[in-house]
Amino acid sequence: MKLLVVGGGGREHALIWKLSQSTKVEQIFCAPGNAGIAGIATCVPIESNDIDRLVEFARNEEIDLTIVGPEDPLVAGIVDAFEEAELKVFGPSRVAAEIEGNKTFCKQLLKDNNIPTGDFASFDNLDDAIDYVYKKGAPIVIKANGLAAGKGVVVAQTVEEAENAINKIMRRKAFGDAGNEIIIEEFLEGEEASFLVFTDGDIVVPMVTSQDHKPVFDDDKGDNTGGMGAYSPAPVISEGLFRRIMNDIMIPTVKAMSSGGRKYRGILYAGLMIKDGIPKVLEFNARFGDPETQPILMRLKSDLLPILEACISGHLAKTIVEWDDRPAVCVAMASGGYPGKYENGKEITGLNLAGRLKDVMVFHAGTAKNEADRIVTNGGRVLGVTAIAEDIPKTIEKAYHAVGKINWDGAHYRTDIGRKALKRI
């Protein structure tokens, strides 16, 4: 089979790495890809949101299956466009992807179907939003309603901080049109975890659990990012809690989407807050997480391709998904200044040294090659250094050992990825 993977980050590198192991795969293209992906796939200079050109490329190259990584093209309707062109594609339709693209829609769906989540209110008027915050008090959560690359969330500890966040999103348009409307949510205490499933719209098959680390600095300090690292499994989710999440959240959500005329096929990713063994939904994403995909796919023993095909064809019930019992840890290495301003073009050293380590994969996120054919930084999150080992302490040690081999001017990473898991073993 000839595959096309849409996207150019660490998630897409991990997907291509896993798909390339399938005996059914002959060739993989990636649009636009990155310097690391170029080592195992043919990169095509088409941006992930250029849907017309992607359809044209897939038709001309006779691509057998296209897998969409990022949320932007999914929300824009790339799956619908491919299906209209009679091209096979993996991912939810435009109306199904609204579960991520429209936070108000998502929260209302949860409320209407008694799926556990926090209280919320939506506003398209700045003054009304500020009045609501002063009425409710703090801490409180302010979110851009649309897509903001994981950065459009502010957990405000004071009403003044909340007001500043509202002004930043709605008046100063820090996230563009995504901030035309905001959603203000109840602050939920507890420990976060990520819960991803495969679904064909009827059957729901869970992946192994994981935990992302959103804030840029250790101890969950600083601004939110797209994710500074992840590990799998997340010990905060016990076996009993795992079943509860499936029965009370994931299965009811898929059913609710279907009954509402938005049959959901693809990856459904719940960001959860867990307190005293009770899970509540923070938000849903309509695709593989990044960086959760990296450790999750390190643990996937089954061939990924037949699972994706079963989601599309509606035959997921017949598909067996096997996992490695060993834990995996991903540490994101970022450009200095991220998630704010940063400089590209910094030469990266030590990639070969890290790449030689056993049970370690260095997934590229924001990289490119310069005129001298050297790999340089080309984004905020640059690499996802991912390791797998027999237990969490050894896996963390192995991941950071690999991180220590890599360097560039201004490289930044958290030093506490996996620490929460250590506290629970």
358 CB-near residues (< 8 Å, 6+ apart):
none
pLDDT tens digit sequence for 71-107: 999 999 999 999 999 999 999 999 999 999 999 999 9
Structure tokens at 342: 């940063």
Neighbours of 195 (CB within 10 A): 27
Q: For the chain, first and last CA: distance in Å?
A: 43
pLDDT tens digit sequence for 353-378: 999 999 999 999 999 999 999 999 99
C-beta of residue 414 within 8 angstroms of C-beta of residue 229: yes
Nearest to 170 by CA among 181, 186, 154, 159: 181
Distance CA 322, CA 329 (A): 19
User: What's the predicted TM-score (pTM) here?
Assistant: 0.94
Residue 15 sits at the vertex; the CA angle it makes with 389 and 358, to the nearest 5 degrees, is 30
The whole-number average pLDDT for the span 147-164 is 86
Question: Burial level of 392, CB count in 10 A (0-12/13-18/19+)?
Answer: buried
pLDDT band of 150, cuts 50, 70, 90: low
Residue at token pair 């360097």: 407
Distance CA 334, CA 381 (A): 4
Distance CA 176, CA 251 (A): 34
Structure confidence at residue 145 (pLDDT) = 87
Structural domains of the chain sorted by starting position, each given as residue range(s) with its CATH number in brackets: 2-98 (3.40.50.20), 125-180 (3.30.1490.20), 191-318 (3.30.470.20), 328-422 (3.90.600.10)
> Percentage of residues in the chain with pLDDT exceeding 70?
100
pLDDT tens digit sequence for 212-266: 999 999 999 998 899 999 999 999 999 999 999 999 999 999 999 999 999 999 9
Rg of the chain in Å (alpha carbons): 20
Q: For residue 148, is pLDDT > 90?
A: no
Q: For residue 194, is pLDDT > 80?
A: yes
Structure confidence at residue 224 (pLDDT) = 86
Q: Is the peptide bond before 139 cis (omega within 30 degrees of 0)?
A: yes
C-beta of residue 384 within 8 angstroms of C-beta of residue 330: yes
Amino acid 400 reads Y
